[in-house]
Amino acid sequence: MKTNLPVHKGEELDVTIIDLTYQGMGVAKVDNYPIFIENALPEEKITVKVTKTTKNFAFGDVVKINQVSPHRVNPKGRVYRQTGIAPLQHLEYSEQLKFKQHQVAELFAKVHMDDVEVLPTIGMANPTQYRNKAQVPVRQVQGKLTTGFYKKNSHQLMPIEDYYIQDPEIDKAIVVVRDILRKYHEAAYDEFHHSGTIRTIMVRRGYYSHEMMVVIVTRTKHLPMADVVTQEIQAALPEVVSIIQNVNQKKTNVILGPDNNVLYGKSTINDQLLGLTFAISAGSFYQVNPQQTEKLYQLAIDQAGLTGNETVVDAYSGIGTISLTMAQHAKQVYGVEIVPSAVENAKQNADKNGIKNAKFVLGSAEKVMAKWQEDGLKPDVVVVDPPRKGLDAEFIKSAGEMAPKKVVYISCNPSTLVRDVQRFAEYGYEISAPVQPVDQFPQTPHVESVTVLERTEK
Ligand SMILES: C[S@@+](CC[C@H](N)C(=O)[O-])C[C@H]1O[C@@H](n2cnc3c(N)ncnc32)[C@H](O)[C@@H]1O
């Protein structure tokens, strides 16, 4: 059945932007029908060209901004917005922080939880050059091995050397490695034909330690000239303590493959957080904004209200960062994590820091939690820090039935946070303090927050 839409593809019209989506796109409405427009900010009046229509919404491109938002800034320009490196860079930072606070509040309000208070987002003094990790695709562009970033919703590589939100030492390292790969005529990966060698360059740098890891992700097991490439990277980048070849032979968007081959130095780098030292391997998750992570973890520790007598479960524990910081204030901590190298790192990290009251288990949080419940484990506090998809319903069931006094929820996706808070309510848990967003990802629309739930029923 053909529906009569209020706008048509190719049409140009004048609209006012009334909102921003969670992806940072401007929203205009024509007869209540939304048009999503990149690079358009609330309160702006623009001429938009409709590029795509669907039954429920349309997309459009800005033709002309007729009235500019007072909050529009333009530090880096078009490429940065287009690539998705910094899609919010055209919005003044103080407004970005408000946008994130508003987004969390709005999601709670949508499910009639208007009484949930959301505090102003904790931001950064310098909201650029914060990322401690880069994963940069390598492709052939105009006959040359090139590093850069994909244009949003495409696999078109835009050459970039200054990534704006990454540690500048990492940006420099990527150019150095790129030039060495060019010098030895390494072949860039060709996605279309699934040919060539070098797929991605990943660099991690410890914020405090300045230890650097370079990971060269290859399609093939063989990396031609591996010896000289390694030697030249070592010579050019004195901070490098680890060079790894990661082999990913699959035709996939997943960046890392299963096999790591240490070409030089260690298989991990060290960094510090809240005074503890952590070993981090190539495949392990580690928060990308170390300055904000310390604030985030401190908040979680404070919210947990530990006195030294508690049993704590840290679910989705990664390399044990939260578990080990909490272990210093608790009787016993149990961590569960699904990535084997991360669990290995977590155990190493407990030893490294002389912490004896933290135990780490490899497995899925939902299965391990169910087993712990069956075994009669009774945590006082459960801390969760899941990926964007949030918590599995089975996990919430086990956690609810274990009846901890508190659940501290660190979330990187407010939509799944709201869903999970509603599920916890079925087990008698209510939000007991204002939700605190912490800006882990300035210049992007991603929202991180800490929420504490307390048990209200027996
Ligand atoms: C947002 S990270 C948090 C890691 C850690 N808490 C930190 O702050 O560094 C989420 C972690 O959950 C792990 N993970 C993903 N799915 C999981 C599952 N079903 N069970 C257990 N861990 C999982 C990921 O490997 C990752 O280490």
The string of pLDDT tens digits covering residues 317-332 is 999 999 999 999 999 9
Ligand 1 centroid vs 392 CA: distance in angstroms?
12
Locate 284 and state its tokens: 């392990």
Q: Which helix (H) or strand (E) holds 265?
A: strand 259-265
Give pLDDT, residue 82: 74
The closest residue, in CA terms, to atom 6 on ligand 1 is: 317
User: Using one digit for the tens of pLDDT, what is the confidence trace for 226-271?
Assistant: 999 999 999 999 999 999 999 999 999 999 999 999 999 999 999 9
CATH 1.10.260.40 for domain 133-273, yes or no, is no
Decide whether any atom of ligand 1 lies within 6 Å of the 285 Cβ.
Answer: yes
Is any ligand 1 atom within 6 A of the Cβ of residue 338? yes
Q: How far is the CA of 361 from the centre of ligand 1 (A)?
A: 12
Cβ–ligand 1 distance for 132 under 6 Å, the answer: no
Annotated binding site: 287, 316, 337, 385
Q: Where are the domains of the chain?
A: 12-72, 133-273, 289-455
What ligand 1 atom has the least distance to the C-alpha of 364?
A: 20
The alpha carbon of 316 and the centre of ligand 1 are apart by a number of angstroms equal to 4
Alpha carbon 401 to its chain's center: 30
**Which is the closest atom of ligand 1 to the Cα of 284?**
27
Is residue 412 part of the annotated active site? The answer reads yes
Contacts of 89 (CB under 8 A, 6+ apart): 73, 74, 75, 76, 80, 81, 164, 443
Mapped onto helix, strand or coil, the DSSP state of residue 382 is: strand
Reported as a pLDDT band with limits 50, 70 and 90, residue 289 is very high
53 lines ligand 1 (CB under 6 A): no
Quick check: do 12-72 and 289-455 share a fold?
no
Q: What is the residue with the minimal CA distance to atom 13 of ligand 1?
A: 316
Residue 358 φ/ψ region, left for φ over 0, alpha for ψ in the -120 to 50 degree band, beta for the rest: beta
The catalytic residue among 412, 421, 438, 452 is: 412
Whether the predicted interface score ipTM is above 0.95: yes
Tell me the C-alpha distance between 399 and 403, whole Å. 7
| Predicted local confidence at residue 22, as pLDDT | 84
The fold for domain 12-72 equals OB fold (Dihydrolipoamide Acetyltransferase, E2P) (2.40.50)
Instruction: Determine if ligand 1 sits within 6 Å of the CB of residue 174.
Output: no
Phi, psi angle pair for 199, to nearest 5°: -95, -45
On average, the pLDDT of the chain sits at 95
pLDDT in tens, 106-153: 999 999 999 999 999 999 999 999 999 999 999 999 999 999 998 887
Q: Does 342 contact ligand 1 (Cβ within 6 A)?
A: yes
Ligand 1 contacts CB of residue 365 (under 6 A)? yes
pLDDT tens, 145-198? 999 998 887 888 999 999 999 999 999 999 999 999 999 999 999 999 999 999
Phi, psi of 286 (to 5 degrees): -145, 130
Fold assignment, 289-455: Rossmann fold (3.40.50)
**In angstroms, what is the span from residue 215 Cα to ligand 1's centroid?**
21
CA of 386 to the centre of ligand 1 (A): 5
Angstrom distance (rounded) from CA 141 to CA 135: 18
CA 313 – CA 360 distance, rounded (Å):
10
